[in-house]
Amino acid sequence: MSAPRKTVHWILAHPQESSVNARLFREGVEFLSRDHDVHVSDLYRQGFDPVLGAADLGAPGGREGNVVDLMGAAHAEGTVPSEVREEQRKLEAADLVVLQFPLWWYGPPAILKGWFDRVLTNGFAYGPTDPETGLPLRYGEGLLAGRRALVIVTAGEDDRSIGTRGISGDIDALMFPLTHGTLWYTGIEPLDLHVVHDVDGFGAADVERESARLRTRLAGIDDETPTSPYRRLRDGEYHGTRALRADLLPGRTDLGIHRRVRD
Amino acid sequence: MSAPRKTVHWILAHPQESSVNARLFREGVEFLSRDHDVHVSDLYRQGFDPVLGAADLGAPGGREGNVVDLMGAAHAEGTVPSEVREEQRKLEAADLVVLQFPLWWYGPPAILKGWFDRVLTNGFAYGPTDPETGLPLRYGEGLLAGRRALVIVTAGEDDRSIGTRGISGDIDALMFPLTHGTLWYTGIEPLDLHVVHDVDGFGAADVERESARLRTRLAGIDDETPTSPYRRLRDGEYHGTRALRADLLPGRTDLGIHRRVRD
């Protein structure tokens, strides 16, 4: 008996259909579709609006309140814009989320940043406190827990510039606001990054090589686990859910302190 | 004889005119305007489109090429969209750039991220190589050198969550893609961050306190220098402009290694 067919939500953020990203996207989606149900959000092609605005903050005319509270109310009252609700449905259905984008100013393009801003709302992706554990519903306890994410990022730079001690900062640290602050906050476990370096100078052979490397990665994706997962609130490693306990990795202040040794 | 009047470009990214951000913006602009020429970009109010797309990549119909090259060509040929060119003019005229935004998913809102994506183009904000020094025109040598930036960020979290060893990551590390990877890359020197914590629960007295704290900061802004500036390519501290020299802060891998001791 075979394992149940898993569901994937693949989100692409690149403006050019002729790009390396678009090529890897088409091939990756085709490859996974052989034995997965794959839903896509090709943000540029669908004209996704990344600007969180009045429509996300509840009734027109506007109520007073901060953004987090108003978005929570919109979720509770079912007034979330249909474009956003559609993205939430694809995300809810997914076992695996693939986020694919070029590194622009050391982060995701605005169209993807705004997808996080608008789609991962209070009440949908995270919440206040779990009555059973007393823990806030975030950082591993988020409402999207049980899902995993593969982040595929293409960069114009080489593995020294965005490697350990590289002038542009290590890619794992640059991606921390996404992998830890966004995905892990909502409970989604990020797998190790899939980085494609030096992409601006790519020729046909380079694209072939990266395409093959991505297919190999995707072939084993259902059994993959992160090399070093992020710490969970439930393990009691943070003082009152805020700062890492003084006895853990004392003296270290780098973002790597939030990773744990695997069980 | 008084010093020449300096010019400020203040960029705000917040959807609500009733927000703490909007209030600090209005008061800050009014305060600086007494003895500075202040130009503003209130991105929500002006309806700035943050999605880098076909209009930024040159002639309609589209040429082949990667995003960096096409945007460089659009700059050289003068086909940059007028909305973007207008932002570039304000930035060019500024001695001080103020970037003000709420922390959403541990980064700037999409409308500001896309302002970086579209406005800081190849040929305008950075370039290939300086023929005199042989250094790439980035990281302190960028084309916008001579300017300084004040980043004002409001956060729902307290100073433990986004402090050193805080669960959400230290705010200086979270902002590295902006302060180092974006501002410093283009040559703009970031001053120390101006962080407003716990903003979601603010009452009137909290707003008053933060408003006064901001005015105090702004009163001395023309004479302020960063506590610990980023390293300059020209100082030869990176191997071939890529990784930090092995003899500097050996063993450390945190993003703080890119800061230098002040001259």
Nearest CB to A105 within list B54, B166, B181: B181
Tokens of B211: 């408003």
Nearest CB to A167 within list B15, B117, B139: B139
Residues 6+ apart with CB under 8 A from A107: A113, A174, A177, A178, B107, B113, B177, B181
**A160: alpha, beta or left, given left = phi > 0 and alpha = psi -120 to 50?**
alpha
Tokens of A138: 């975030």
Residue B3 CB-density burial (10 A; 0-12 exposed, 13-18 middle, 19+ buried): exposed
Tell me if A138 sits within 8 A of A155, measured CB to CB.
no
Nearest CB to B163 within list A66, A105, A243: A243
To the nearest whole Å, the CA of B2 is away from the closest chain A CA by: 38
Mean pLDDT of chain B: 94
pLDDT, greater one: A201 or B197: B197
Q: Are strands B96-102 and B127-129 parallel, antiparallel or unpaired?
A: unpaired
Model confidence at B148, in pLDDT bands (50, 70, 90)?
very high
Quote the CA–CA distance of A72 and B69 in Å, as a whole number: 42
Q: Tens digits of per-residue pLDDT, B26-60?
A: 999 999 999 999 999 999 999 999 999 999 998 65
To the nearest whole Å, the CA of A10 is away from the closest chain B CA by: 20
- Indicate which of B105, B162, B174, B230 best probes the interface with A, i.e. most A CBs within 10 Å of its own CB: B105
The domain spans of chain A are 6-226
Quote the CA–CA distance of A226 and A175 in Å, as a whole number: 15
Nearest CB to A174 within list B50, B104, B177: B177
Residue B249 has pLDDT above 70, yes or no: yes
| B72 vs A contacts (CB less than 8 Å) | none
To the nearest whole Å, the CA of B187 is away from the closest chain A CA by: 14
What pLDDT is stored for residue A60 in this prediction?
59
**CB–CB of B51 and A105 under 8 A?**
no
DSSP codes, A32-92? HHTTEEEEEEETTTTT------GGGGSSTT--SS-HHHHHHHHHHHT-S-HHHHHHHHHHH
Nearest CB to B107 within list A107, A166, A258: A107
Quote the CA–CA distance of A246 and A48 in Å, as a whole number: 44
**CB–CB of B69 and A200 under 8 A?**
yes
Nearest CB to B242 within list A53, A161, A239: A161
Nearest-Cα residue of chain B relative to residue A106: B177
Least confident range from A9-13, A239-243, B93-97, B185-189: namely: A239-243
Model confidence at A262, in pLDDT bands (50, 70, 90)?
low
Three-class SS state of A16: coil
Please count the residues of chain A. Answer: 263
Residue in A154, A155, A196, A192 with CA at minimum distance from that of residue A172? A192
H or E element, residue B70? helix B67-77
Quote the CA–CA distance of B237 and A173 in Å, as a whole number: 21
**CB–CB of A256 and B257 under 8 A?**
no
Q: Summarize the confidence of residues B182-200 as an average pLDDT.
A: 97
What pLDDT is stored for residue B175 in this prediction?
98
Nearest-Cα residue of chain A relative to residue B21: A66
Nearest-Cα residue of chain B relative to residue A113: B110
| A54 vs B contacts (CB less than 8 Å) | 15
**CB–CB of B109 and A113 under 8 A?**
yes
**A67: alpha, beta or left, given left = phi > 0 and alpha = psi -120 to 50?**
alpha
Tell me if B98 sits within 8 A of B153, measured CB to CB.
no
| B255 vs A contacts (CB less than 8 Å) | 169-170, 173, 254-255
Residues 6+ apart with CB under 8 A from B11: B40, B41, B43, B97, B98, B99, B100, B112, B115
Nearest CB to B164 within list A164, A253, A256: A253
Alpha carbon B187 to its chain centroid, in Å, reads 10
To the nearest whole Å, the CA of B127 is away from the closest chain A CA by: 14
CA dihedral (A111, B195, A125, A153) positive or negative: positive
Most confident of A59-63, A247-251, B61-65, B95-99: B95-99
| B54 vs A contacts (CB less than 8 Å) | 15
Among the four given CATH numbers 3.10.129.10, 1.10.260.40, 3.40.50.360, 2.40.280.10, the one describing domain A6-226: 3.40.50.360
| B114 vs A contacts (CB less than 8 Å) | 50, 109-111, 113-114
Residue in B58, A193, B235, B218 with CA at minimum distance from that of residue B210? B218
To the nearest whole Å, the CA of A1 is away from the closest chain B CA by: 42
A104-122 burial: b if 16+ Cβ within 10 Å, else e: bbbbbbbbbbbbbbbbbbb
In chain A, which ranges are continuous DSSP H helix? 20-33, 67-77, 82-93, 110-119, 171-174, 176-178, 204-219
Quote the CA–CA distance of B83 and A223 in Å, as a whole number: 48
**CB–CB of A111 and B114 under 8 A?**
yes
To the nearest whole Å, the CA of A226 is away from the closest chain B CA by: 19
The beta-strand segments (E) located in B46-132 are 96-102, 127-129
Tell me if B190 sits within 8 A of B226, measured CB to CB.
yes
Nearest CB to A168 within list B52, B107, B181: B181
Q: Summarize the confidence of residues B54-76 as an average pLDDT.
A: 86
Tokens of B90: 């304000």
Quote the CA–CA distance of A87 and A136 in Å, as a whole number: 24
Tell me if A99 sits within 8 A of A149, measured CB to CB.
yes
Quote the CA–CA distance of B155 and A219 in Å, as a whole number: 41
Quote the CA–CA distance of A193 and B172 in Å, as a whole number: 22
ipTM attached to this prediction:
0.96
Residue A131 has pLDDT above 60, yes or no: yes
Query: Count of CB contacts below 8 A, A vs B?
Result: 215
Model confidence at A36, in pLDDT bands (50, 70, 90)?
very high
Three-class SS state of B48: coil
For chain B, give the percent of residues with pLDDT over 70: 97
Quote the CA–CA distance of B81 and B58 in Å, as a whole number: 9
Overall pTM surpassing 0.95 (yes/no):
yes
